[in-house]
Structures are given as C-alpha cells and as structure tokens.
Amino acid sequence: MNRLIAFYKGMTTWARWVDRNVNPSKTKVFFQGISPTHYLGRDWNQPTRSCASEVQPYFGRKYPAGVPSSWIVVNKVLARIKKPVYLLDITFLSQIRKDAHPSKYSSEHGTDCSHWCLPGLPDTWNQLLYAALFA
C-alpha cells in the first residue's frame, strides 16, 4: 500500500475516534503537524548537499520544496473532523531548520537528517504547545 494512502487511512480512523469519543467540554485535542527531513539538498535549492554539513537555517519566506504530501493529508483530514482539534503546525518552522539535525555533531552515527537536536527546534515546538495549552 502507498504510504500516503496508509497515512490517510490511519488519520481518518483517528479522526472518527475523536469525533465519537472526545467531549470538547472536558478534553482539548492537539495534533502535532509534520516534521520534515532534510536528506535532499534540492529541497532548499542546494542539490549537492544534505543536512550533514548545514550550520545555518534556510532563509526565505517560502520553502522551495513546498509542503510535504503528508501535510496535505493532515490538513484534509482535520478540515473534515467535527470536534475541535488544535493543530500545532510545525512544518514550515521545521523545514527552514535544515541545520538542526544531529549529523553535524555526531560523526560516528552517519547522516541523520530526520531526527532533531536538543536544545533547539523541539524546544520551540514545546513552547508553542505550552502557549496553546495556556492561551
């Protein structure tokens, strides 16, 4: 099965569960958006690079690769859900941080352009969640 179809099926199953089981007067539902990878430098217009040598974020108002297909799935499913769901949309914020992966700091483990270093970007995600919880 195509991974996006599988993701869509999983998301719609979750959305049905939320609609059937969540009482919005007692429960606030949060969904963290898509966390991108940076294996392909062409995504930020540097085709010969990966996150392994990056020390600066991408500077630009629009990420050259556009949004990931999985972001479209998330937004499609959340648009149809009946109960309120707060989307912590970290996608663009994370896309521009091609420099925030552990590869630069961990030569023993090879190129890792999908996990994130602490402190840094995940701390920002936590601050956004904290602000949403107490808004």
The mean pLDDT value for 91-117 works out to 81
Q: What's the confidence (pLDDT) of residue 11?
A: 98
Domain span at residue 40? Answer: 3-133
Please give the model's pTM, rounded to 2 decimal places: 0.84
With 90 as the cut, is the pLDDT of residue 119 above it? no
Provide the token pair at 63: 């990420």
Say how far apart CA 122 and CA 67 lie, in whole Å.
Answer: 19
* Residue 106 predicted with pLDDT over 80: no
Q: What is the total count of domains within the chain?
A: 1
